[in-house]
Amino acid sequence: MSKEQRFASVWDAIEPSPEEAASMKARSAVMLAVRKIVDGWDIAQIEAAKRLGITQPRLNDLIRGRIGRFSLDALVDLATRAGLSVHVKTTRRAA
């Protein structure tokens, strides 16, 4: 009989370490927030890319969720250009 394992997030399940899972959680949260803003602009990708100061192929990577192509720093920059404010919250993990 196999023991079922539960995880707080998909990142906790698939990343090899808690540090990498934490990074992916932060990156995905910022990426999703930027994508939501871009979707709300209801403009062509080329225009949205210009607003964000990136190329259209780079914006396409963001829209398609290619998270591995973005550092947290790059995503924070994009969020700021999109008019978002990014705040980091740290808490102590349960033992």
The pLDDT of residue 92 is 86
The pLDDT of residue 29 is 94
Asked, for residue 65, whether it belongs to a domain, the answer is yes
Mean pLDDT of 9-20: 78
Asked, for residue 50, whether it belongs to a domain, the answer is yes
Check whether 1 has a pLDDT greater than 60: no
pTM value is 0.84
- Non-local (6+) Cβ contacts of 56 within 8 A are 45, 46, 49
Inter-axis angle of helices 18-41 and 72-81, nearest 10: 20
Asked, for residue 94, whether it belongs to a domain, the answer is no
For residue 49, give the amino acid letter.
A
The number of folded domains in the chain is: 1
Asked, for residue 75, whether it belongs to a domain, the answer is yes
Mean pLDDT of 41-69: 96
Residue 73 domain boundaries? 43-83
CA distances 18 to 39, 56, 79, Å, are: 31, 33, 25
